[in-house]
């Protein structure tokens, strides 16, 4: 904690300049991961760049294109946008599951991505919605699918001077709904043993025309499972399709043994949660096609 | 020697200035520099809720806020809840229900519960339990706390006392 400085730039360009020019600079959004790492001396930054005064990082907008969520918007603020709950119930419930009310008052979805924990709750939910990351840096701005943002536990594609500005989620097609479920050994305040997110689009006949299936806490990063999505698409999602999606999800999982669960247990639960999340997403989508 | 930042903030509605190194938490400054010792230190990792305050009206753990982040923001602590000698209904009901023993968690619970009732004047028991899930109490077993908060909510709404089955 020696000689760490603090800056709260008002402009994105100023934040990029600081991150690029100061060796050992780190961004500060909600701080719920960063400040604990700082106290435990796991990191020794020379400068903390507070992003919460930068308009692009704190804006939330919803229009015909979809949702734009500033990377530093807290989960508590996200939950106050009832339109987000209506359009993306899975993303909403993933943000609502993180820590306590106090933690949600600070923790951001952008921070959840950047911290790159394999067990991050909002990341599978983002993947299921087809979200994209807007990254800005000294070389300009680039966007990429959220599934390419984390490259391993605690590792992201961010280069020197780069930061996550916002998350863009395309407006869902009619008849689309999502769901996120996680397993923890209690009802609140724990880290996912397994997380599963599913988004489905149904047509007027109830046939599934599009799906995205994602999983968390069962691999080095959250990931999409294209085979599980493919199992759901092409007809009315019946028991056979749900079971095929569950098998594909369990088969694609690459969990580790640790105190939260064994490989075998996590594999099994991945299938169970994927199926349950799919069932809930399908029921939500059905209500939207009525 | 770490550089100090001159911070201008509002605490419980009053303008306050202080100097802080970048790494110090809002909790440390509240307790050790500003002598606002109502806010308690528990875990310092955001798990226990004893240090709960509001920041621009939002419930947070002050151990997970840097003091310098308070610049230009509004901080609310337990010292700002009572009106002079008159306790807030949440405080009064915690007393009446004997909903505290050692008392270390109580300021955090008062701040969290008043924050809930400002947003949701008529919470269900389930909503109170989930909202207070981040406030650990090792003495009471929570039940009396939940009853006290529901009772305070009734009183604030001017309704008849809320009786739990």
Domain locations along chain A: 5-50, 55-170, 176-289
Numbers of helices and strands, H then E, in chain B: 5, 5
What contacts A140, CB < 8 A, 6 or more positions away?
A: none
Chain A: closest CA distance from residue B21 (Å): 8
Overall fold of domain A5-50: 3.30.43
For A30-57, the pLDDT digits (tens) are 999 999 999 999 999 999 999 999 999 9
**CA atoms of A21 and A23, how far apart (whole Å):** 6
CATH (residue range A55-170): 3.30.465.10
Is the ipTM of this structure higher than 0.85? yes
A9 reaches B (C-beta below 8 A): no
Instruction: Examine domains A5-50 and A176-289 and report if their fold is the same.
Output: no
**CA atoms of A77 and A73, how far apart (whole Å):** 7
Band (pLDDT 50/70/90 cuts) for residue B165 is very low
Across the interface, which of A5, A32, A188 has its CB nearest the CB of B3? Answer: A5
Give the rounded percent of residues in chain A with a pLDDT score beyond 70.
Answer: 99
For A140-155, the pLDDT digits (tens) are 999 999 999 999 999 9
Interface size A-B, in CB pairs within 8 Å, comes to: 85
Given an 8 Å threshold on Cβ–Cβ distance, is A35 in contact with B131?
no
- The answer, yes or no, to whether residue B163 has pLDDT greater than 80, is no
CATH superfamily of A176-289: CO dehydrogenase flavoprotein, C-terminal domain (3.30.390.50)
Give the predicted TM-score (pTM) of the model.
Answer: 0.95
- The answer, yes or no, to whether residue B3 has pLDDT greater than 90, is no
* Structural domains of chain B, with CATH: 4-80 (3.10.20.30), 89-157 (1.10.150.120)
Across the interface, which of B5, B45, B64 has its CB nearest the CB of A106? Answer: B64
**CA atoms of B59 and B55, how far apart (whole Å):** 7
Across the interface, which of B23, B112, B131 has its CB nearest the CB of A4? Answer: B23
Mutation target to probe the A interface, by most A beta carbons within 10 A, among B41, B46, B135 is B46
């Amino acid at each position: 904690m020696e000689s760490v400085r603090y800056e709260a730039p008002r402009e994105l360009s100023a934040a990029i300049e600081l991150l690029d020019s100061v060796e050992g600079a780190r961004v500060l959004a909600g701080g719920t991961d960063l400040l604990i790492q700082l106290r435990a001396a796991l990191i020794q930054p020379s400068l903390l760049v507070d992003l919460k005064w930068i308009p692009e990082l704190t804006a939330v907008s919803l229009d015909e294109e979809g949702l734009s969520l500033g990377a530093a918007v807290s989960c508590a603020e996200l939950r106050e946008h009832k339109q987000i709950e209506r359009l993306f119930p899975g993303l909403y419930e993933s943000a609502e599951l993180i820590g306590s009310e106090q933690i949600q008052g600070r923790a951001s979805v952008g921070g959840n991505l950047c911290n790159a924990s394999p067990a991050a709750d909002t990341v599978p939910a983002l993947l299921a919605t087809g979200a994209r990351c807007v990254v800005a840096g000294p070389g300009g701005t680039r966007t990429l699918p959220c599934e390419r943002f984390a490259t391993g536990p605690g590792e992201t594609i961010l280069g020197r001077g780069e930061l996550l500005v916002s998350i863009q989620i395309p407006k869902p097609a009619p008849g689309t709904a999502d769901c996120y479920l996680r397993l923890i050994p209690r009802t609140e305040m724990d880290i996912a043993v397994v997380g599963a997110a599913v988004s489905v689009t149904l047509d007027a006949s109830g046939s599934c025309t599009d799906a995205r299936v994602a999983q968390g806490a069962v691999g080095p990063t959250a990931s999409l499972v294209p085979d599980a999505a493919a199992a759901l698409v092409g007809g009315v999602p019946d028991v056979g399709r749900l079971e095929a999606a569950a098998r594909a999800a369990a088969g694609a999982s690459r969990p580790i043994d640790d105190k939260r669960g064994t490989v075998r247990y996590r594999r099994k639960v991945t299938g169970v949660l994927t199926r349950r999340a799919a069932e809930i997403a399908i029921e939500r989508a059905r209500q939207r096609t009525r | 020697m770490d550089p100090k930042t001159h911070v201008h903030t509002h605490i419980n509605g009053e303008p306050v200035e202080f100097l802080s190194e970048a790494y110090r938490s809002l909790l440390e400054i509240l307790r050790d520099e500003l002598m606002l010792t109502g806010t308690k230190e528990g875990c310092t990792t955001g798990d226990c809720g004893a240090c709960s305050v509001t920041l621009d009206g939002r419930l947070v753990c002050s151990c997970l806020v840097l003091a310098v982040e308070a610049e230009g923001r509004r901080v609310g602590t337990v010292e700002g809840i009572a009106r002079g000698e008159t306790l807030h209904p949440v405080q009064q009901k915690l007393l009446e229900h004997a909903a505290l023993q050692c008392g270390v968690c109580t300021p955090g619970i008062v701040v969290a519960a008043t924050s809930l009732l400002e947003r949701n004047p008529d919470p269900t028991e389930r909503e109170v339990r989930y909202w207070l899930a981040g406030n650990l109490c090792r003495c009471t077993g929570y039940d009396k706390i939940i009853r006290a908060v529901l009772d305070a909510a009734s009183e604030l709404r001017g309704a008849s006392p809320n009786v739990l089955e």
